[in-house]
Amino acid sequence: MSFPGVDTDFLLAEEEMIAAYHPTNRNLFNLFRNAIIAWKVLRVRNPDLIISTGAGVAIPFFYLGRLFGIKTIYIESLTRIHGLSLTGKLIYPVASHFYVQWPGLARRLRKAVYGGQVL
């Protein structure tokens, strides 16, 4: 699931892509619409794992994933050196595993793990 756009259309031309509604975190209506999509996708696909590197579309997937007992892995953005993104803050309480890309940030967050940098 991703946001539609020229880059997404090009990079995922050979892949199945489900379009999310944007903007997300600061738009409750789109958050609700993405939650409906997440509910349908998770019920049909029944994945073993959900992985996200950010964007508000991850929020409904992580909360519903937790509800369904699905393991979740979140990788915070490389740009987040001293604090979490809004998505990171909202996902932190429900993520099974939470990775950050700076050791200093990992030291400040109880369940965050620094595993190196992912570009």
Contact 38, 19 (CB under 8 A): no
As a dihedral over the C-alpha atoms of residue 25, residue 82, residue 106, residue 104, rounded to 10 degrees, the angle is: 170
Could you tell me the domains of the chain?
6-114 (3.40.50.2000)
Per-position pLDDT tens, the chain of length 119: 888 889 988 988 898 888 898 887 688 999 999 999 999 999 999 999 999 998 888 999 999 999 999 999 999 999 999 999 999 999 999 999 999 999 999 999 999 999 899 86
